[in-house]
Structure 1
Amino acid sequence: MRLLLITASSPEIRRIRKSRFLNFQQITMPYLAALTPSPWVVTHVDEEAEAVDYEAEVDLVGITFHTPSAYHAYRIAHSFRERGIPVVMGGPHVTLVPEEAAQHADIIFIGEAEGLWQQFLLEFEEGRHTKIYQTAAIPSLEHAPQAKKDLFHRKDYTNGVIISSRGCPNRCDFCTLSMMYKNRLRKRPVAEVAAEYASFRGKIIIFWDDNIAADREYSKELFRAITPHRKWWSSQASIHAGQDEEFLELAARSG
């Protein structure tokens, strides 16, 4: 079975991002590929790096996107569905407006994919999949697989992308995280994160955490664990982290 994963980005968004310093690799699809069992053969197209081949011979297409690229993603889906190729969609936009997304896909995922993705693929193979998959339980990040490094395609200055946590306990009214993750913070075991961090050959790593300062004691333990690897990293954190001198010192020392 052949699976094409697409990180969709509209022409307008691509033009904007070309002029920006902060245009990091996206981790979603390489991570989803790591959750995909054999015998599925997975390819990934990141539109920030390459064009979609609309004539690709595949059995299933998966698309993720942010809201500014929604209509563009729907056009991609339409092109494949016209050829009789089923399309599955997921991600923040689909989770927040599933009724809209469902009009443009054969299958949609609401919320997180761990556990459900494997179930869906099995049901797809057997011809008994449903239209909507929505997790009832909040998945643990313990023993989460490492994203497939060979599916990162952007030629930027970063050498690795990783997550140590997901979600944020804050309830900022401007942020979608509280709606998506219900203010629940999940963390990977520090040893697992440090091992993946060390596995990247390059020196510049991006933590795609929603808020790396959400649990500062956890973050301090993580910073201590990655310090010996002598890499440079970047992430995003809420402003209260600036009031914690130990957090700042350990973060700076770790990279």
Structure 2
Amino acid sequence: MTVAAMLPKNWERRLIDLNVKPLSDSDIEWADMVFLSAMNVQEESVRKIIEQCKRKNAIIVAGGPLFTHEHERFEGVDHFVLNEAEITLPLFLADLKFGQAKPIYKTHEFADVSQTPVPQMDLINMKDYLYAIVQFSRGCPYLCDFCDVTTLYGRKPRTKSVEQIMAELDLIHKTGESQLVLFADDNLIGNKRILKSDLLPALIEWQYKTNPGLYFATQLTINLADDEEMMRLMLEAKFRNIFIGIETPQEESLKFSLKIKT
């Protein structure tokens, strides 16, 4: 939905979430281009989609974590728009306008997410989902060797503005279909200073003024337990579900991943 909001305003869009319904041949025939995004665990599904699209002679534009990591493994894709779309998608669109779109667009830079547009939520039916999703930050300060977040998004957490998050929450609230909103950050407390000074106070104020009946969930690191103020603010903001990963009990491994100080 975020990528859709970055496309030219005069383009017609249709979003097919394969978690909700299958991709039909008529959907492919309707489109001038098929934009495909996936994570690594969805590779099997991706290969089926590429095969289906090629049978219909569709032009495929692919991006997201799976292709950013290993695009060279996928034949049949016409254009790869890799890394963060805020940077590479405008380059693709500019070349496409003049009929000069290249096979691959990638960058080593990280996007300014304070300029990321509000997701185009009218492309989905919220009744199809148990909960809604927003993303406040990208990136994580730690170095866990099993995780690709720092490779994709860097070690300096970049955050959206409070105004962006409030606009997204207002849209979710207006649908009236969700009671739970997942903050899909890989580590919500990666930037504790901004979270405590900006976002959590704004969420608390929004909850009191709006009374939306919305509760929040997220994932973060166990060092939340060391910060009494953070826990109090999160509870007051109505965070009710917290996922915490316990990666290892070994002190040397925790030092290597920068989760404890040496």
Query: Which residue matches 2:226?
Result: 243
SS at 2:216 equivalent: strand
> Post-superposition shift, 1:43?
0.6
> Post-superposition shift, 1:93?
1.1
Letter of the 2:158 counterpart: R
Query: Kindly tell me: are residues 75 and 210 of structure 1, through their superposed partners in 2, closer, same or farther at Cα, counting changes over 3 Å?
Result: same
Match of 1:112 among 63, 74, 84: 84
Letter of the 1:180 counterpart: L
* Aligned pairs for 1:1-255 within 5 A: 30-56=1-27, 57-101=30-74, 103-153=75-125, 155-158=128-131, 160-201=132-173, 202=176, 203-220=179-196, 221-230=198-207, 231-255=214-238
Distance 2:124 2:220 in 1: 24
The answer (yes or no) to whether the contact 1:211–1:236 under 8 Å persists in 2 is yes
> Post-superposition shift, 1:126?
2.6
Query: Which residue matches 2:251?
Result: none
Distance 2:87 2:11 in 1: 16
> Post-superposition shift, 1:54?
1.8
Distance 1:176 1:139 in 2: 17
The answer (yes or no) to whether the contact 1:74–1:104 under 8 Å persists in 2 is no
> Post-superposition shift, 1:74?
1.7
The answer (yes or no) to whether the contact 2:81–2:104 under 8 Å persists in 1 is yes
Q: Please give the TM-score of this superposition, normalised by the length of structure 2.
A: 0.80
Distance 1:238 1:65 in 2: 25
The answer (yes or no) to whether the contact 2:37–2:63 under 8 Å persists in 1 is yes
> Post-superposition shift, 1:111?
0.9
Q: C-alpha offsets along residues 214-242 of structure 1, whole Å, 9 cap, x if unaligned? A: 01121112111011232311111111112
SS at 1:139 equivalent: coil
Moved more, 161-170 or 77-86: 77-86
User: CA RMSD for the aligned pairs?
Assistant: 1.7
The answer (yes or no) to whether the contact 2:139–2:186 under 8 Å persists in 1 is yes
Q: C-alpha offsets along residues 117-166 of structure 1, whole Å, 9 cap, x if unaligned? A: 133123224321000010242110113211111123462332x3211111
The answer (yes or no) to whether the contact 2:91–2:105 under 8 Å persists in 1 is no
Structure 2 gaps of 5+ residues are 208-213, 239-262
Letter of the 1:147 counterpart: P
SS at 2:115 equivalent: coil
Report the identity percentage: 25
The answer (yes or no) to whether the contact 2:141–2:190 under 8 Å persists in 1 is yes
* Greater RCO, 1 or 2 (C-alpha within 8 Å, sep 6+): 1
Letter of the 1:78 counterpart: E
Larger helix share, 1 or 2: 2
Higher Rg: 2
SS at 1:241 equivalent: helix
SS at 1:38 equivalent: coil
Distance 1:176 1:137 in 2: 16
